[in-house]
Structure formats: structure tokens, C-alpha cells
Structure 1
Amino acid sequence: MIITQQFNTNATKNLARAAYRYLGKDTSFSDLRTKVAKLSYLYLHELGASSRVAFVARNSPAYLASFLALSNCRSVTIPIDPDKPPEEVLKILKDTKATHIAVTNDMISRVREMLHSVGMNLPLVEIEKKQGGEYSNSFTPPPENPPSDNDPILIMRTAGTLGTIKYVAFNHKQLIHAATSLRLNYKLTSNDRFYTHMSWAHPFAFFHGMLFPLLIGATTVIDHGAEGNDLLDFFVESRVTRIIGLPSFFLKILLICRDEKRRIAAGVKSVTVGLGKLDPAVQKAIGLMQIAVANCYGLAEACWTIAMEAVQKEEEAPLRRGGKKVVEEPVIPDTSSGIPVGKGIVGLKYKVIDDNGDEVPGKDKREGLLCVTGPSIMTKYYENDKESKTTIRGTWLYTNEFARLEGEGETLNITFLARRPDGLRSGNEILTAEAIDKALKGAPGVTDAAGFLLKDSRNETRFACSVVKTPGTALNEKQVLEICGSKLPANQVPVIATFSDFIPRDAGGNVIRSKLSAQFSGALG
């Protein structure tokens, strides 16, 4: 089955239901299905089969319709965040050998200027102007070149947090499994509407905020840049039930709620958090609004989702006298020894391995480097055989990240511990630098701090920390180490404390410890 067949199957069951909402207007699955068919003919005629189309575009109805239409043409979509610096966009275009660039109206001038600056000549596809009105309402592929479920139709960029940026190509089968396997985790109802503030160029947003709802018959609510009180109104008017986002976005929402003396729309059932963990105070505040919080962990190499906490079914709270509901205080999990990311995904298998590459056996708690296999896992990196050989072994993806597994099968629970360069094995346990962050948080004279790993002169790995001092304080290295020593076990106390102007973090607010390790390499002699 190809992806538009999956889409059409659900569209047929939900013809009148909204496929997406944009600028205050709902568009039905019936209308979107017709739009995709017309664009399929148009793009096949104008671009030809097997084009490689880079999307330097905002989230929009034209984006999702064009993606589906191009998949009918055996063409490849290459999502690029339009807010990336020009030099990064140009590198992606070159690396992926794009033949065309799809742009939304707001990006036309900027992309033309960018291409002109380096003498690059790629045709622009102005997707918001494409209608295909003269073509049929249903698409039949040419018999001499029909699409196959093994055709690559999407190239995603990895985050590059562990080294060089790489690219991953996925086919119809992998994308369909990655999207539809999320059903059990979300426990959907017939009126669910998904919203994300993130660009669909990020795999987390692409799968959870766009492809998943499209392929299972839910509604994609497309962001159009509302801010402040208007954003809270937007959630109400658009009847959003699921919000997909970064930890920093949910903090932003709560700050708006505080300033406007409002709450998140009562219709919101859950928030799905990726690329980091929520601050405990943020998670507590969201929980008190009776909104479920689900952590999600993934990698581009796995069509993003490797594990996700199940969104609990909405339960009726018991009533007090007078008819008022009891709002129970949410239980906030302890994340000092890792981020609980819930159950595995249907169809995927998991194991952790030790330093010798052997599987850590058993059903009880076991820690090591996480390996995953299943229908949505990449087969190799795009045009990078060297990296592919170290990352894919047999059918297993070696994630290069530490995790804790407990149980097996339906009872399996997964906790993300650390990226490999940020964790240290001590016997059967993985020690992480995050405990140092927690020990120093709120300490007198400390504005920000993070632990990381360094090699000493004997090539042994040791914990270190970096601190951003509060202006005007006389905090010194000895005092920092004493604070850590009073709060941490001996094997996690840093051997050196350094001072920085800032702590490097990624889009999810996670410390980029590899940058600190590089910045202070050689500090131990």
C-alpha cells in the first residue's frame, strides 16, 4: 500500500470530517482528496516523475496536499525549516541533490535571493498558487510508471547532535507504519484535532502533528503565527484537543495563561512533549488543568518515534458536595535518573547492549546502549555507507544512546538516560551528567550549570561541570565542587569545575554536553 491509498481509505470513511483547519476554515477529507488528485496530475506534468523537491515552506494546506501528490508521482519530498540560516538551507539542497524547491508565498523572494547569491539555479514551485483545476478529481498513475510501496518519498535530516549531520530516506511502508502505529498511544476519539507550533521539517512535528492525523482520519490544525492571548483564543476557536511541542513552548503557554489570567482551552486533552522534558512546575500546572502529559522519545533514523507514554483516557473526576469536581494533584515523575518515555511502539523490538556489544539479558531493570528494530526503522543513511555500517547492524538500529528497559512485551517500560558521550557506565549502571545539573540548580551564585564528561591524561573518562555565575558573586571552583560533593554520590562528583558565559542548549532546551566537552578538552591535562 502506498501512502495516498492509506489516506484515501480513511478519507472515504470520513468524507465530511475536517482534514485540516487553517485561517479559521475547515477543509474536509473529501475536498483534500480531490485536491491531491488534481495536484498529482499537475506535478506529474510540470515536474515529471522522480523529482527531488525541497520544501522551504511554512506549514500550510498547500504543503500537506503537495506532499501527498508528489508521493503519487514517485517524487521525493525534502522538508527544510524555512527559518534555517541560508548557508544551512543551501547545504541541504546540495547534499540531497534537490531538483526543485517548493515555496510558500512568503518565502519566494528570500529563496530567490539565496539561490542568486551562490549562482544556484533551481526551479521554484510556488505551491500555494497550484490548483490543477483542469484535471480529474481522481488520480490514476501512468501504467508504465506506477508508484511502489518501496519508493523513497521522504528525506529527513538528522539533528547532528552526535557529530556530522546525515540524511535518511523513507519509503511508503515505513511512513505508514510510523504514523499509524501511534494509534494505541493516543487513544483517539472521533473529534481529535492536532496542533503543533513546530515546522513540519522536524520529524517529531511531521509525524505527530501532520502525517499521523492525516492517515487516521483526525484533523490537522495548522498554525498561522498567533501569539499571546490570540493563541489561547486560537486553541478555543480551532477546537484543538492535542498539542505537540517542545518543553519551551509549553512554558510559554503557561506564562501567557498567567499574564492573561486564563487557562488552556478546556477541550485540550493532552500535550505530547518531544526533544526534552518539561520542568516539574510546568508539568504540575498542566496536570492541574486535567490535561495529560505524554513524553515522546525518538530519532530521525526511526521515523522519529521510538517510545511514547500512553495518553490516558479521560476519566470523570469524582464529585465533592455541591457538585464540584475533585482535581487531584498530578504525580510528577523523578527525572534525575532519566526521562521516562513510556511504552514501546507497536511493531518495534528493543534491546540494550553492554560495552562488548552483547545484549543485556533478562526482564528486570537493565541499562545499556539502546538498539531498535522494526518496520519504520531506516535501512541505511542516504548516500553515507560508512555511517550506515556502524549504525545499522543486520536490521537493528544502534541508537548510540543509553536507555533503561524494564519488563518485556506489553509490560516493557523505557527510560531515556543519555546520549552515549554524556553517560558513563559503572558496573551495571549508567551514570549521567544530568545529576550534576540538578545538584547545582538554585545553588547560591549559580545562574546556570551543567555536567559533562572529559578525558584525562590517562584517557579515563571523568565528570566535570561548567557554571554560569550570577553577576557580582565571588563563587570559585572549590565552592562549586563542595556543593556537588554534598549532594552527589562519590562516583558522580565532578573532578573539575569550569566557568562559562552560557550553557549551550538545543531547541528542546537540552544541554549540548558534547560542546562543553569540546570547549574544555584538555582541562584535565
Structure 2
Amino acid sequence: MTLTPGGAPLNIAAGIREFAEATPTRTAVIDGERTLTFAEVGERSSRLANHLLDSGLVVGERVAVLLGNRLEYPEIAAGIAKAGLVMVPLNPRLTPAEARYIVEHSASKYVVLDDALSPIVADTVADLGLGALSIDATTIGSAYEDALAAASDVDPFVAVGEQDPFCITYTSGTTGKPKGVLISHRSRVLTFYMSALEYGLGAGRTSAAVAPMYHGAGFAFGYAPVFTGGTVTMLRKWNPAGFLDLIAKDKVQSAFLVPTMAQGIRSLGAEALTSRDLSSLDTLYFNAAALPTALKDWVMDSFPTVGVHELYGSTESGVITNLRPVHMRAKPGSVGHAWYMTEIRIVDEEGNEVPPNTPGELFSRSPFLMNGYLDNPEATAECTTADGFVTCGDIAVRDEQGFISIVDRKKDLIISGGTNVYPREIEEVLAKHPEVVESAVVGEPDEQWGETVVAHVVLTPGASLDVEKIEEHCRTELAGYKIPRRWYATPELPRNAGGKIVKRDLKPPTA
């Protein structure tokens, strides 16, 4: 079934349709020296939609997308949606085996990819007989630009329900095989509008796509500017100096970052900031991992005219909370209040709400929640209550004013000698040490205590691990039982595509 223009429910293609008509000549996407207007994104996405439909795909079937941040990403997402198909983003850092698992688990029938990434899926495409479109060359499948040129530019307006999934995003697999998270059109459209309201995206504004768009948050905050009538400029690969150059070149006003990116900018030194015209920048917002208070203070001090937000959320639940600029200094360590249209419960093991300042597991209910895990009703039931609240497994506290702080992941909790130890508290203290760039605190098995607290630390260049001095620093703020008993220096911490530290990959160094 097709719809007449204007008759569709909430759909992630709608913003492209609207602004291709309302502001056709405005720049929608910038990628280095290449640009696309809204009219061009609208036309090209329709051509892609028709090519996919002409290839025999039917409503609800899945299309895997293997791209980094580049000009084509918004039009591909919109084109898949216009065809009534479901996008399955693939991380370009996946191994061929990991990519094959996702393609097979999602039952993807087609792949759109950057030809440079073809080794990741070449065997899978051949073995499964998948259709493919390749950008820049044709190691696999047909040429992307040739396919668009040959297809109709008339929007097919394929009907899908707003509660139907627009994509299946696979979790990073920090606790085993990744799960496919079903995310609806309604969930993301509302996220786009609320992000425009909160973070200064949309018409007349230029934002940067810095975080990878194959990740849930990276896509939401990279696509939202275009969906709401603004301009997005692509940073193809994270580079601190390159990001600052992008701000100066394209007059970027808003950007979403993860904490490790702020650490990279800080490592450039003050001259990197003063030598560039960064005056256009007025909004920064952070997610993916805890923003240590010391790093947060550096961001606010180094960008004094920029409004800094710290948000908290997950692939399954979308944005859950937001700490706004007005509260950043008054509430260090907090992630703010519930975001728009979001209810939050913090409960004990029996599901009873806990009093203020008492740790409990955080559950949320909002229009941003996932539809569930693909073909995994057991996992969906494990994290969902009967009345529709979902948990990410995080431990939080809420103070008397309603400000929420994430204490730790439930799975990261260390129980040593029967006492709960929350790693994030220790990591916050370590972040204040002048020679510690970042840290990850975990529990290791211990015959006497059950678990013992250990810390993996990344040190500043040239520094050596001085356990005595670091322990002395910790004693100023931590009870003795919280101070790590073992210390490991490491050049970097293992991270997933979203910038989160993968603690299960932390191992003691071998002798």
C-alpha cells in the first residue's frame, strides 16, 4: 500500500520530505568539499528506495548498511525508510565473523556499503546470495551511483506504522553475543524533535556528526539535524585536531561527543583552542560513558561560552536523563532529571522504590523505548516490567531535588567481603589525580574476600605508575576498603563502538 504525501504517520523519512519541499536549496549535508541540498537528499533517497524495491525487496525486509560517517548516510537511511524497509547498521570495525552473525541473525537481504569495507562482508554476501550496492568502487555488487541514476526519482511513499521498526541496532556485545534492538520510527522521530529542542539542532543551525553513525546515539544525533531542517557536517574519523578544524571551517554550533573525545581535545593543549576560530560553537552534549567531574570542569573552563549537557541513556531506552548547563557546576556527578516524556523508577531487589540517596536499579518508561530484542522474548522480558518500564541494569541514586546520579552498572558492582563497592566512585577520584588520564575499576576473584578491587589506569605521557602516591591520593576521599589492592598501567582501555569501556576485556598483564 502507498500513501499520498502528507498522510504518513511518524516516519524518519518525513523530515527529508518536508524540507526538500520547504527549503530545497538549503545545504543539508557537508562532507569535506562535497555538499547536498535538501532537494538532492530528497531525490537521491527516493531513487535508492525505488532501486531497493525494484530489486525485489518487500516491506519489512532488512538492509544492512556498512558505512562510516560520510555524505551518503542520511540519504541511505531515508531511502530505506521510504521503501518501508528496515536498516541494520554494521560497525566498520567488525570482523567478518561478527558481521556475518548480525547479517544472518537479522535476516538481512541486501547490503549497502563503502567499497573500502568490502572485505568485512564479501564472503557473507557471496555465500548468502545477497544483493549489494557499493560506493566508490564495485568489489561487491553494483555501483551505488549507477543504481541511483537508473531508478525513478518519485517517492514511493510505502506505508509503515510508526510503531514499526525503522532499524535493528545491535548492542555492542559487552556481555556476550550482541542482541538486535528493534527501534521504531516513532521512538526516533520524537528523539529527533526533542534533541532539536534541547541541543540546538534544526533549521538555521549547523551540527557535526562526530560519533559514528552506525551506533545508536551517533545516528540519532547525526541524523536529527537534517530531519529537523538543519545542516550536518561529517567528521569521517575521530581526530581531535580535525574536529576543531571542522568547527572553524563549517561554523559548527552543536556537537555530540563521548568523554574520551574530550580527553583527546584536552591532550592537544590550550594553544589548539586559541589558534582556531571556535566562536560559532555554543552547545556540547556528552553521553556513552560517565563524564568525570575533573574532565567536565576542564570542558566548561576551556569553552566558557558553550552550554554543556551531560545526558544518560542506552540503545534500548533512548535518552533517559539530561543535566542542563545551568546545573553543571552545582551538581557534579549527576546526569540530571528525567528527559522529556520520561518516567523513572529507582527500585530495590524486590522492585520497591527506594528513598532519596539510596542506591537502586534504574527503570524508565517513555516513547523512546525499544520494541524489544529481535527474536529474543526471554531477554526482552528480563529487562521489562509488566507496566512497560525498561532497565539497562544501572544502579542510580536520586537526591531530594530529583537529580539522578549513576552509581554504576549492576553487572560492574564489586562485592568484597560482603560490602558493595561501586567502581564509578573510585574512578571519579582517580580522575582528579594529575597523572591519571582515565581509569577502569573492576573486581578480580579473591579466595578471602570473594572479590578484590583492582584498577587499570592510563597515565599521562612520561608518567610511571607510583602506587604509593596514587593510594595516598585515594585515601583523601575513599574509605580504605574501596582503595584498589592491585594496580595495572595500560596504554589504553578497551572500548566498543559507542565509546564505552568494555570491562570484561580488562585482564591482568601477563608476566
TM tier, smaller: 0.7 to 0.9
Distance in structure 2 (CA, Å) of the matches to 1:180 and 1:449: 35
In 1, Cα distance between the equivalents of 2:13 and 2:39? 13
Tell me which of 246, 249, 259 is aligned to 1:237.
249
Query: Residue 466 of structure 1 contacts residue 497 of structure 1 at CA under 8 Å; is this kept in 2?
Result: yes
Q: In the alignment, residue 297 of structure 1 is paired with which amino acid? A: Y
Identical positions, percent: 17
| Structure 2, unaligned runs of 5 or more | 1-8, 136-143
Which among 306, 309, 315 is matched to residue 320 of structure 2?
306
- C-alpha RMSD over aligned residues: 3.8
Give CA deviations for 1:246-304 in whole Å, capped at 9, x if unaligned.
Answer: 222233334446465514621011222222215725742554432222212221112x3
Please give the alpha-carbon distance, in whole angstroms, between the structure 2 residues aligned to 1:86 and 1:238.
36
Q: How does 1:104-503 map to 2 (within 5 A)?
A: 104-108=114-118, 110-111=119-120, 113-115=122-124, 119-126=127-134, 128-130=144-146, 132-133=148-149, 137-141=153-157, 146-188=159-201, 190-210=203-223, 212-225=224-237, 231-256=243-268, 258=270, 260=272, 262-263=275-276, 265-276=278-289, 277=291, 280-281=294-295, 283-289=297-303, 290-302=305-317, 304-310=318-324, 332=329, 339-360=333-354, 364-394=356-386, 395-406=388-399, 412-423=402-413, 431-439=421-429, 450-453=440-443, 463-466=452-455, 484=474, 487-490=477-480, 492-494=482-484, 496-497=485-486, 499=488
How far did residue 387 of structure 1 move?
Answer: 1.2
Whole-angstrom distance in 2 between the partners of 1:287 and 1:500: 29
Secondary structure in 2 aligned to 1:181? helix
SS of residue matched to 1:266? coil
- In structure 2, the partner of 1:316 is none
Partner Cα separation in structure 2 for residue 413 and residue 106 of structure 1? 46
- Report the CA distance shift for 1:54/1:148 in structure 2 as closer, same or farther (over 3 A): same
Q: Is the 8 A contact 1:186 1:310 kept in 2?
A: no
Distance 2:308 2:252 in 1: 15
Map of 2:68 onto structure 1:
58
Instruction: Give the secondary-structure state (helix, strand or coil) at the position aligned to 1:488.
Output: coil
Give the alignment's TM-score, normalised by structure 1.
Answer: 0.79
Letter in 1 for 2:408: A
Decide whether aligned partners of structure 1 residues 218 and 412 sit closer, same or farther in structure 2, where only a CA change above 3 A counts. Answer: farther
Residue-pair matches, total: 482
- Provide closer, same or farther for how the CA distance between residues 360 and 256 of structure 1 changes in structure 2, counting only shifts above 3 A: same
Unaligned runs of 5+ in 1: 313-329, 521-525
Q: 2 CA distance for matches of 1:297 and 1:141?
A: 35
Mark the CA change 1:281 to 1:226 in structure 2 (over 3 Å): closer, same or farther. Answer: closer
1:34 aligned partner: 43
Q: Using the alignment, how far apart are the partners of 2:499 and 2:163 within structure 1?
A: 36
Query: Is the CA contact 1:251–1:282 (under 8 Å) kept in the aligned structure 2?
Result: no
Deviation at 1:378, TM superposition (A): 1.5
CA deviations on 1:43-99 (whole Å, 9 max, x unpaired) are 211242233111111222322212111112221111112132333222222222221
What amino acid is the match of 2:334? Answer: P
The TM-score with structure 2 as length reference comes to 0.80
Asked which structure has the greater CA Rg, the reply is 1
Deviates more, 1:14-23 or 1:414-423: 14-23
For residues 435 and 150 of structure 1, do their structure 2 counterparts lie closer, same or farther at Cα, with a shift above 3 Å needed? closer
CA offset at residue 162 of structure 1?
3.9
Instruction: Tell me the distance in 2 between the aligned counterparts of 1:190 and 1:311.
Output: 22
| Cα separation, 2, equivalents of 1:80 and 1:156 | 8
